[in-house]
Structure 1
Amino acid sequence: MSETRWKRSSNERSDNSEMQHRRIVIENSHGEKLVGVLHDTGSTETVVICHGFRSSKDRIPMPTIANVFEKAMISSFRFDFAGNGESQGSFEYGNYHREAEDLRSILQHLRGENRGSVVLLYAAKYKDVQTVVNISGRFFLERGIEMRLGKDYLKRIKENGFIDVRNRKGKFEYRVTEESLMDRIRTNTHEACLSIHENCRVLTVRGSNDMIVHVTEASEFAKYIKNHKLCLIEGADHDTSNRDHIRSALMMKSRI
């Protein structure tokens, strides 16, 4: 583990000029270095912000979420899962359980909140978090696969052992192996939700204009998590990229 401290430039500073960002590198259980940024306000609690699929700590809305917490004088830590952003390791398509272990390494280091399904799997396995905010998380993990991998993906991946995903211009983006695909399909979100302890408060945030994960999936979390609140933000998209939408969600967090 290593740490690099720096002060923000005058353009990055908020009203509190003493506030600092710290780049922190934490080793996971596989010996890979996970890179994150701590927004240190001196608060007694720290929010851990987990990015989504094929994203990173530096993509919207992660920095925006951290800045909203910063203005509220709450420390936060945003980081890259293994195989994403600056962190070491190889990107894997499913990988939910392994990313939950990455989160375990982060929390053990910080002891001090989005890939929604990952944080819920973590809360189901470990009982050391009191609050989880699940932003735009998918309940039915078997859905949305065809949108990325194309039709007959199961047949094609069994024939070839993998599927290469390309963008609209035909440029290679990432490879999905049969093992990683089955990891996603076999991940049981329903079982995980039932395993979350009633002392862990869960807030699910969903935008009414989410075009990636249908808004109705949010109500599934409410059915099975014992201590749960649902926040539907009118007009918000999947990434809740609008700062006002994020602020609305975090105001809801303070009331759960």
Structure 2
Amino acid sequence: MATARTFPFELTGVDGGPLRGEVRSQAPTEMRPAVVVCHGFKGFKDWGFFPTVAGRIAQAGMTAVTFNFSGSGIGPDGSSFSEPERFRRATPSGDLSDLRTVWNALRDGRLLDALRTPSAIGMFGHSRGGAAALLHASAHPECRALVTWSAISSHMRWGPETIRRWRKEGTIEIVNARTGEILPLGIDYL
């Protein structure tokens, strides 16, 4: 079995900033099915199990595409929340726009010069990324497979009092359980 290789890519995200990702494939010049992997809220493409999932997809002979949503707040190093203003402006519709950008670039053969257009495209999403994958798949019948792990059922997980305070103050503080950082999320999310 060939070893999967990793190729970085950068597109333009919904906010005009970089939309960073990677393609993992054993044979990028061959036409193979591809799976777009979507991380969840406060997650990123290199967090937790995502590298393992992408690696297993590639080992199975498919192409894995991972990326950081524009609103993830993850900077160029791929692991630290060095772009808090981008996190502040995160929205579910922004996630969908970023996913559409990656999907279209993959489908149209514009993701990487060396990558062949896939024979089929599916999606994997976790938590909020699962919701983005579900919503995207519902509007794109060419999505051939969909897997979600712990997909959220609603983007509005906060109660009325929290939302009232959020609107009044302009942000809500989100604690990153992994690092203890306080991340401000703006009212655009609402």
Normalising by the residue count of structure 2, what TM-score does the alignment of the two structures yield?
0.72
3-state SS, counterpart of residue 90 of structure 1: helix
Once the two structures are superposed, residues 109-160 of structure 1 have per-residue CA deviations (whole angstroms, 9 ceiling, x without a partner) of 11132211111121233333222212210113333x36xxxx9312322332
Looking at CA atoms only, which structure, 1 or 2, has the larger radius of gyration? 1
**Any gaps of 5 or more consecutive residues in structure 2?**
77-82, 108-117
Q: Check conservation: 1:39, 1:70, Cα contact below 8 A.
A: yes
* Letter in structure 1 aligned against 2:8: R
Q: Which structure is richer in relative contact order (CA contacts within 8 A, separation 6 or more)?
A: 2
* Offset of residue 68 of structure 1: 1.3
Of 55, 58, 62, the residue aligned with 1:74 is 62
Correspondence 1:124 to 2:138: yes
Moved over 4 A (4+): none
Percent identity between matched residues is 22
**Any gaps of 5 or more consecutive residues in structure 1?**
1-14, 183-256
Of 16, 23, 32, the residue aligned with 2:2 is 16
Q: Separation in 2 of the partners of 1:108 and 1:98?
A: 15
Q: Separation in 2 of the partners of 1:167 and 1:40?
A: 31
3-state SS, counterpart of residue 97 of structure 2: helix
Q: Check conservation: 2:174, 2:184, Cα contact below 8 A.
A: yes
Which residue matches 1:162?
A: 171
* Structure 1 residues 145-224: aligned runs within 5 Å: 145=158, 152-166=161-175, 172-180=181-189, 182=190
Q: Check conservation: 1:36, 1:78, Cα contact below 8 A.
A: yes
Q: Separation in 1 of the partners of 2:20 and 2:151?
A: 23
3-state SS, counterpart of residue 146 of structure 2: strand
* Offset of residue 101 of structure 1: 1.0
Q: Check conservation: 1:97, 1:121, Cα contact below 8 A.
A: no
Q: Check conservation: 2:71, 2:90, Cα contact below 8 A.
A: no
* Offset of residue 63 of structure 1: 0.5
Which residue matches 2:150?
A: 136
* Letter in structure 1 aligned against 2:166: I
